Amino acid sequence: MPSVDPSTNLPTDPGTFEGSAFDAPPDAVRPRNEERLQKILAAAGLGSRRNCERMIDEGKVTVNGKEATLGDKADAVQDVIHVNGSRLVTDTRMVYLALNKPAGVVSTMDDDKGREALADYVPNISTRVFHVGRLDLESEGLLLLMNDGGLAHKLMHPSYEVAKTYQVEIAGPVPRAMGRELKAGITLEDGPAKVDSFKVVTAYGKVALVEVVLHEGRNHIVRRMFDAVGFPVQRLIRTQIGPIRLGDLRPGRTRHLSQAEIGALFKAVGE
């Protein structure tokens, strides 16, 4: 049995979890259900069948790594389809959501202590979803929820170095050396840590808002780094995971990711 990360309930080795919530047992025989490729593309929202035929004819579509030609068929569930180099999700059962987690919500699907949890903010869907990463109880902002366990695990695994962006409210004024110190790296109790970038967004009076980008995923990493430099976090909002931005999504609301955003997530992990 592969080892499991208790915070995500997913295997610690990204190579051991490649499927989705709909996966059959590994030794199961999966019957293929093939359709004309242009019909699959059109159903995925890429335009009319004629427009999809044109994309195939222009060499913009691949199926399982091979350039498609007019007349090809594919299985929308089992085959891997790319359009213009971006992964296209054609399995209509797949769910990819962005959630703006409010403060006070636990980053688990349910909570045995009766606190508000992620399931309280997920629209009615009939499949189990995985949450990408965690935000501590009082932190806010972007979480991704999906029933694609393979993609979820890769987005969380440190070897893929998917960057995350945070807005951090701290006491002002901000020392000039803070950014250099955080980018150079500081030593925490569980090892060194550093940010990829640092900038002051606003600074007024005794309050400052800074933005940091890092690809670390350790527990409370942002809060611990700012504690280490003597500026405890007053408010923490995650605004971006890889290519996905929080934007104007209101606290407590979810939205479905677009095909372009889903493709960008696959590209971020090399697929």
Whole-model pTM: value is 0.85
Q: Distance of CA 13 to CAs 5, 10, 158, 237, Å?
A: 9, 9, 11, 29
Annotation says 27 is catalytic? no
Q: In this structure, are residues 145 and 129 in contact, taking their beta carbons and an 8 Å threshold?
A: yes
Least confident of 112-121, 172-181, 184-193, 246-255: 112-121
- So what's the pLDDT on residue 148? 92
Q: Which whole number is the average pLDDT over 51-60?
A: 95
Q: Which whole number is the average pLDDT over 100-104?
A: 96
pLDDT band at 4 (very low <50, low <70, confident <90, very high): very low
Q: Which whole number is the average pLDDT over 251-260?
A: 94
Among 28, 85, 259, 63, residue whose Cα is nearest residue 19 = 28
SS3 59: coil
Q: Looking up tokens 């499949």, which residue turns up?
A: 127
Could you say which of 23, 136, 190, 227 is catalytic? Answer: 136
- So what's the pLDDT on residue 38? 94
- Write out pLDDT tens, residues 133-148: 889 999 999 999 999 9
Left if phi > 0, otherwise alpha if psi is -120 to 50, otherwise beta: which for 152?
A: alpha
How high is the mean pLDDT of the chain? 88
Distance in angstroms (rounded) separating the CA atoms of residues 76 and 73: 9
